[in-house]
Amino acid sequence: MFSFTDISTYHNQLLQNETNCVSAVTHYISHIRSHSHLNAFVELYEAEALETAARLDEARKNGAPLKKLHGVVIAIKDVICYKDHAVSASSKMLRDFKSLYTATVLQFLLEEDAIIIGNTNCDEFAMGSSNENSFYGKVLNAQDNTRVPGGSSGGSAVAVQAGLCMLSLGSDTGGSVRQPADFCGIIGFKPGYGTFSRYGLIAYASSFDQIGIFGKTVHDIHLLTEIMAKTDVRDSTMHQTPLPAITKKENYSFAYFRQMVEHPALDPEMKIAFENKIEEMIHKGHTVEPVEFDLLEYIVPTYYVLTTAEASSNLSRYDGIRYGHQSAEKAENIFDFYCNNRTEGFGEEVKRRIMLGSFVLSAGFYDAYFNKALQVRRLLVEHANEAFQKYDAILSPTSPSIAFPIGEKIKDPTTMYLADIYTVYANLTGIAGISLPLFSHSSGMPFGLQVMSNNRDELTLLQISQMLTVGI
């Protein structure tokens, strides 16, 4: 029976004729079907994946060398464009839309002979922290089906958690890779802003969005990072130079924000685990020091003011004429026509964020909200820059709680938004972050440690992550 541990082992098995790509794909297709109740996938590319697997097996049999991702089975979030495949952002608005081109990072993976098994469910237009906002229905946490998997990339996280693929891609605007990774007990990596091309990623908030990676080993995520970080002139916000090399040290210096650890929202058991980890790291010779962070109460409001403002602009294109759902209801005028299209096409959470974004950008409130949020963001960037002058990385919890029960927070947007309190810092400042599945709660649910590094220091972050995950 096929089993997967990591890419290197899998490639050795292929070379030793212990398995083949068709067997791998067949295994995952069967597993996806038997776990359909999790609702992780929007669409399964069964015939295409099997055809690609057969082609790769034949090429290998004829002596062709293995490319870096030869036969590696990957799922993609339903916000990443793949030419001639449906991409809907899990929204009724784009239910029947097929992409006209392939996202750059996905093209890089395909060029290394990756096999794309399907696209995964997510919160509509990547707006949510629980994957309960999808047009296709909620995704279930594979470890406890009564709990959420986190969001917005919940389907991608569950696909890896439940063994429905080898790795998956998500997107992270305020924690949408790291938080579901935390809830599902896997690794979730978000690079710094501009490290991966955003060309072909459906935009939520353009100055925050980054494509991220889910996996079960740091080595696999490191490999995908090196492939995906190649330059792309089609994304003007992307760095146009290669990633710097790893900074290897025997002992690293870490900071943690005292106010984050002492925040009343943090589960007491998670706080103890975090503090014990710090003591363990100090005992092993690393420097771990507290840093004051007086802006903690401002980061969630700042994040939601700025992201909703950008979303209200980005989503204005979905009007039923240029893109999107067109209402069958007869309209008396053009205003009603637009209104009907957008009212029917967008879900409740997307409408809420569009209205909030339009409000903070309105003439009477622009200075009071949007400009003020930009000022706070600048302070946060300065704070991060100051921290990384002294420390290699910043430690924090990934989320204030373990995966919560389905339905617990969906009717209380404010409480739901506060679940992002530890992850939005990395997006506001443009730095890299990763969630590592180091801990287990007394409830039996997993939770992780978040490690953040400076932008352009992703490979060192992954080196640190490998050190921290040895033995798990």
Please identify every residue annotated as catalytic.
Answer: 77, 152, 176
Structural element, H or E, at residue 21: helix 21-34
CB atoms within 10 A of CB 26: 16
Show the tokens assigned to 36.
């359909």
Q: Would you say how long the chain is, in residues?
A: 472
- Calpha distance 123→105 (Å, rounded): 21
Residue 12 phi/psi, 5-degree rounding, is -65, -40
Instruction: Answer yes or no: are the C-beta atoms of 125 and 350 closer than 8 Å.
Output: yes
Q: Is the dihedral of CA 145, 126, 185, 6 positive or negative?
A: positive
Instruction: Answer yes or no: are the C-beta atoms of 175 and 43 closer than 8 Å.
Output: no
Q: Is the dihedral of CA 5, 468, 76, 101 positive or negative?
A: negative
Question: CB neighbours of 189 closer than 8 A, spacing ≥ 6?
Answer: 177, 178, 212, 213, 214, 215, 221, 225, 432, 433, 434, 435, 462
CA-wise closest residue to 267 among 367, 365, 372, 403: 403
Question: CB neighbours of 382 closer than 8 A, spacing ≥ 6?
Answer: none
Instruction: Answer yes or no: are the C-beta atoms of 400 and 421 closer than 8 Å.
Output: yes
> If you search the block for the tokens 């990385």, which residue do you land on?
393
DSSP labels for 38-96?
G--EEEE-HHHHHHHHHHHHHHHHTTPPP-TTTT-EEEEETTB--TTSB--TT-GGGTT
- Calpha distance 460→388 (Å, rounded): 13
CA-wise closest residue to 280 among 430, 438, 142: 438
Structural element, H or E, at residue 120: strand 115-120
Question: CB neighbours of 57 closer than 8 A, spacing ≥ 6?
Answer: 20, 21, 22, 71
